[in-house]
Amino acid sequence: MSLLRVDDLAVEYRGAKVVRAVDGVSLSIDAGEVVALVGESGCGKSSLARAVVGMETPSEGSVQYRGRPVPTLGVRQRSNDFTSIQMVFQDPNSSLNPRIRVGAQISEGIAAARRRGMEATRPEEWLERVGLPATVVNRYPHSFSGGQRQRIAIARALAARPDLLVADEPISALDASSQAAVAEMMRKLALESGAGLLFISHDLAVVRLIADRTLVMYRGRVVESGATDAVWNESRHPYTRSLVAAIPEPDGKGNLPAAPTVAERAAWFDIVPEALDRV
């Protein structure tokens, strides 16, 4: 049984007109597996992530965690069965409480793990694991840099000892040159604890580095999926090909990657069956 199983999921937002952000997506994640979800902004990848953790109610389809449907988050504390799903958000400034010491925030994660019968850990251990000194445990979030804050948010999520970690653009708010390091750290820590990691990003270079499998989303649908190597090195879908072609090559030749033409963009809507479930 997969750790996470998403079947024909649709997420819609109702307003003046209905926006179908996720349009029939299926995926599964096993323990110890890193799955990346890539696509341009607005393609529905964040909506998918939010539905996975229960922050959005699916309008169609299902999200099952260990064979049981993930309940929508309410005002009340989440039942212990589902605190082993944790999430890391894009912006640590809004996911950390500015008025609580970082050690106390990490302790909230530890408490969630203890309620599931896990043994107690200390916040200092988690700080060290994400590369921060244990001595900062009594400081407030404002005294850290953006990258350090994201490391704290990751420490808090990991302290709850998740089996499934969902990270929505966890590195895009970071200083560009520390992005790859934090992404690699997340892979390492998730795998060490035997968890599955759903890693959402628009940064293809980083995704290639850390993901076992990659799903490429366009306008709410998965257009290409499968083993990371196959998806990037022998892309079958025109959208994935455009993505790969748009990555500038560091060859010193001064070649600008071509911005996609209107005709090319039209083909991105195509369904290419052989681009799915690549091995």
Q: How many whole angstroms separate alpha carbon 135 and alpha carbon 149?
A: 15
Min dist. Cβ of residue 90 to other proteins (A): 11
Tell me the window of 73-81, 102-110, 174-182, 189-197 that interacts with other proteins (CB under 8 A): 174-182
Q: Could you say which of 81, 94, 233, 266 contacts other proteins (CB under 8 A)? A: 233
In angstroms, rounded to a whole number, what is the distance separating the alpha carbons of residues 81 and 68? 10
- Site residues (CB under 8 A) for other proteins, limited to 33-62: 40-42
Binding mask 193-222 for other proteins (x = CB under 8 A): ---------x-xxx-xx-------------
Q: With CB under 8 A, what is the number of residues at the site for other proteins?
A: 36
The residue within the footprint of other proteins, chosen from 259, 262, 263, 271 (CB under 8 A), is 259
Residue with smaller CB distance to other proteins, 115 or 188: 188
Is residue 229 a contact residue for other proteins (CB under 8 A)?
A: yes
Q: Considering beta carbons, is residue 135 or 255 the nearer one to other proteins?
A: 255
Spatial strand order of the sheet with 68-69 comes to 19-29, 4-13, 60-65, 68-69
15 makes contact with other proteins (CB under 8 A): no
CB of 227 to other proteins, least distance (A): 12
* Nearest distance, CB of residue 233 and other proteins, angstroms: 6
Cβ distance to other proteins smaller for residue 45 or 161: 45
Residue 266 binds to other proteins (criterion: CB under 8 A): no
How many CA atoms within 13 Å lie on the side-chain side of 158?
26
Hey, how many other C-beta atoms are within 10 angstroms of the C-beta on 185? 18
Q: Does 191 bind other proteins (CB under 8 A)?
A: no
What is the smallest separation between the CB atom of 247 and other proteins, expressed in angstroms? 5
The count of C-alpha atoms lying within 13 angstroms of the C-alpha of 239, restricted to the half-sphere facing its C-beta, is 24
Least distance in angstroms from the C-beta of 58 to other proteins = 26
The footprint of other proteins on residues 236-255 (CB under 8 A) is 242-243, 246-255
Closest CA to 3 of 156, 162, 109: 162
**260 counts as binding other proteins under rule CB under 8 A:** yes
* Rounded CA separation 89/193 (Å): 20
Q: What is the dihedral angle through the alpha carbons of 54, 56, 62, 67, rounded to the nearest 10 degrees?
A: 0
Q: By the criterion CB under 8 A, which residues form the site for other proteins?
A: 40-42, 147, 172, 175-178, 180, 202, 204-206, 208-209, 229, 232-233, 242-243, 246-260
